[in-house]
Amino acid sequence: MRVLVIGAGALGGYYGACLVRAGADVTFLVRSARAEQLRRDGLRVKSPHGDFAVQPKILLANELNDPFDVVLVGVKAYSLDDAMSQFAPAVGANTMIVPILNGLKHIDALTARFGAEHVLGGLANVSAGLDADGRVVQFMANQTIVFGEVKGSLSDRVLALENLLRVPGIDVRASDVIMQDMWEKFVQLSTLAGITCLMRASIGDILTVPNGERAIFRLFAEHCAVATASGFEPRAPFIEFDRKLFTTANSPLKASMLRDIERGSTTEAEHILGDMANRARALDIETPVLDLARAHVAAYEVGRQKPAN
């Protein structure tokens, strides 16, 4: 399979680099500044599993004119519209689009643009970012990617993609209930982003303050209520996993959204917190902690866009 990775940031850069290292036919669609950096330095990964670097194949948007078998989309949600216009020439009759963005809204956007037959569901569980030198830094050992047909079933194309992605550095799983998986990730991510951004602190630090743990699980319960009312009640193993995740003493865990705030960057707040809150309103579910977290990050965005004094 010919794979086109959209961007070479934290997600696309990590999974794409692992595929290149394993000998897969991978090309990265990047902007000119990132292309220059990659040609000069290669695509470098710093990982708890061992650092490595690859020399990637690169295309700019104006150079893309052939279809690919797989388009792996790992851009930030606010970049999706531009990305869809750029990679549209890569979508042929049999192309699979595999989005590993956070949240759920992007599934509708991709389906509207390219058709449901091209769009898989997907999610990534990897904690990573780009450092000042353009290296992909994997902060924690997790490195899972899960995908499947939006309507369920383990199709031949999904199983073929699972085989392609089964390489060192990627824990891969094809799922016949991908929307359930995505909803559970949505609940987890919304809780992590909402509470760490609201408190401007890691999970470990929040647990040390009065009512910190209570605040985490009030927010978690709000999100679980929205998922359940939407037809995707979180399963018992997920609940147990997240209870451990959110009660680990001294945990350095914080959402990438908080790291964006700490850098003064744009966030995915409306794609994540805003979308969850809007779904809650449509279902007539009260979410006071979520609403406060959403307002907090929205206020940050307003301030970020004001000119410096």
Known catalytic residues are 185
Q: In this structure, which amino acid lies at residue 277?
A: A
**Cα-Cα end-to-end distance for the chain:** 52
CB atoms within 10 A of CB 309: 3
| Conformation bin of residue 154: beta by default, left when phi > 0, alpha when psi is -120 to 50 | beta
Check if the beta carbon of residue 8 is closer than 8 Å to that of residue 98. no
Residue 155 CA to residue 162 CA, distance in Å, equals 11
For residue 251, the surrounding DSSP H or E stretch is: none
> Would you call 149 helix, strand, or coil by DSSP?
strand
> Would you call 169 helix, strand, or coil by DSSP?
coil
